[in-house]
Amino acid sequence: MAGVLTAGIGLGVVAMTLKIADGTHSVLDTTLSTTTGFLFLLAGAVAHVRRASNPIGLLIAMAGLALFAEDLQFAEAPAAHTAGLTLTAASSPVIAHLVLAFPHGKLRSRWERVLAFSAYAVVFGAAVLGLLVNDDPKNLAAVAASPEAEQLVKRLLELVGALIGAGVVVVLLYRWLAGRLPQRRLLSPVVAIAVIGAVSTTAGSALGSANPASGPLLDVYRISFCLWPLAFLIGVLRARVGNAEMIRLLLERDGSGLAALVQDDEVWKDSRSIDALNAAAGLVLDNQRLAAELEERLVEVQASRARIVAAADDERRRVERDLHDGAQQRLVSVVLLLRMAERRLGNDLTPRVAALLTGTVDELQATITELRELARGLRPAILTEAGLIPAVRSLLDRVPLAVDLAAADVPRIGGAVEATAYFVVSEAVTNCLKHARAREVRVRIRVEENGLRVDVHDDGTGTADIDGGSGLHGLRDRVRALGGELTVASEPGSGTTVSAVIPL
């Protein structure tokens, strides 16, 4: 782009100098052609700055460069003059390409590519043929100079050029009629000037340069042609404004979602902002998908943890039954057998054997008591049979502290929830006895909107730490497995409050 602009500015100065020195061009012609070329360069530079990724800016600048290159035919130097004859109509195919590719910078359909390729082939092919038969003495490429052949080639170029121009106008009109309102608004200046210029140049070419009407038609074409760079620039700026509006809409979202209004595909197809929009929309969709997957996984994890808690409770009940029905009953039978043997043998036993039997019975009784306590610690039978409140009341009756229990209207609830609430009270009261040196314990159990709430407060030393031991930490994991939360508030000298909220 920098090279095209540099070459265009240099050729512009040279072209203006050559036209003035030639003396055969009017001031209007020189002014219009020079202004048109520089306007094309300026519009191309602005379009490139606005959209560096869109080749439309380069095409606009190339049109200005080609327009100035045509004026090399007025040079006195044979080499420059010969090059100028080759580029006599160099701007025509570039302009046709530009019009067909506007605004996205690419030829989309097969007909557009055929028209653009035909324009380049006909213009430069005819220029080479004309160069070979041109009888100008400064033409270094003349092979068979023939004024008649040169005139025939020029006439053929005018007719074919008229057909190509008409085809370009038809494509533009079809695109304008088939497009939606934003696309029409974008293409309207380009289409209007293209129609005026194409009609004037087509009519002039069809009539021929010898016809008196061709001069005024050529002036109309030059004036409209001078306005064309401005039409392309307006289209680029309009697309840019719409682009900014879309980005503003995108950035004004509050994070709850993403929305963008795209009124016309043609406006955005060649813009960097559509890439930004695609990337942002893709991020939002990915986040939503990941959030949905995470939520689904979280539900699965919660259900899995609840199943683990239920399985653990079932395993506790099984162990409790095994202890009660198995080892405990066998130990009781052994105690009964030993006492029966003691009564039957009576006086036959020596004092040492009698003492040994008595000690054995006492040890077995202690073992049975420990087994009963162990079974009760796993899951008391009263919890299963009578419910949470009777089980908690039975637990607190054995506590050597002043106890205040408040549990109003707590119905029977799920077994896992009741067991978890019971263990919260049991663990908190056990900590009071072991560590807190408390004199009083208050237990509050109630059903709230969120679930079952259990609060255990003591007036002890207040040094409990939920992460300091395995009891409260494991209890918190059990509560969380049911979707609840366990907290511990403990300040030195103010006692400890253990609170749990368990969803029903």
278-333 confidence digits (pLDDT tens): 676 777 778 888 888 888 888 777 777 667 766 666 666 667 666 666 676 777 77
Distance in angstroms (rounded) separating the CA atoms of residues 65 and 37: 7
pLDDT band at 6 (very low <50, low <70, confident <90, very high): very high
Domain covering 2-245 in this structure, CATH number: 1.20.1070
Is pLDDT at 229 greater than 60 in this prediction? yes
Q: How large is the average pLDDT for residues 36-60?
A: 85
pLDDT score for 9 = 92
- Architecture of the domain defined by 386-502: 2-Layer Sandwich (3.30)
Tokens of 431: 């900590």
pLDDT in tens, 330-350: 777 787 888 888 777 777 777
Is pLDDT at 53 greater than 90 in this prediction? no
Is pLDDT at 48 greater than 60 in this prediction? yes
pLDDT in tens, 377-389: 556 667 777 888 8
In terms of phi and psi (left: phi > 0; alpha: psi -120 to 50; beta: otherwise), the region of 409 is: left
With contact defined as beta carbons under 8 Å apart, do 12 and 37 qualify? yes
Q: How large is the average pLDDT for residues 40-56?
A: 84
**Chain-wide mean pLDDT for the chain?**
77
pLDDT score for 268 = 44
Distance in angstroms (rounded) separating the CA atoms of residues 256 and 342: 83
Q: How large is the average pLDDT for residues 176-182?
A: 70
Q: Where are the alpha helices (DSSP H) in 323-405?
A: 328-345, 351-378, 381-385, 388-397
Is pLDDT at 484 greater than 50 in this prediction? yes
Q: How large is the average pLDDT for residues 354-373?
A: 77
pLDDT score for 89 = 79
pLDDT in tens, 114-143: 888 888 888 888 777 777 777 677 777 677
Determine the 3-state secondary structure of 433 from DSSP.
Answer: helix
With contact defined as beta carbons under 8 Å apart, do 417 and 482 qualify? yes
The string over 465-493, giving b where at least 16 C-beta atoms fall within 10 Å of a residue's C-beta and e elsewhere, is ebeeeebbeebbebbebbebebebebeee
Q: How large is the greatest C-alpha to C-alpha distance in the chain, in angstroms?
A: 159
With contact defined as beta carbons under 8 Å apart, do 87 and 69 qualify? yes
Cis link prior to 103 (omega < 30° from 0)? Answer: yes
What percentage of residues in the chain have a pLDDT greater than 70?
Answer: 78
pLDDT in tens, 401-452: 888 888 867 888 877 888 888 888 888 888 888 777 788 889 999 888 878 9
DSSP count for the chain of H helices, then E strands: 17, 5
Distances in Å between the Cα of 186 and the Cα atoms of 60, 231, 239 are 16, 9, 7
pLDDT score for 455 = 92
pLDDT band at 7 (very low <50, low <70, confident <90, very high): very high
Is pLDDT at 252 greater than 50 in this prediction? no
Tokens of 351: 């004092």
Is pLDDT at 264 greater than 50 in this prediction? no
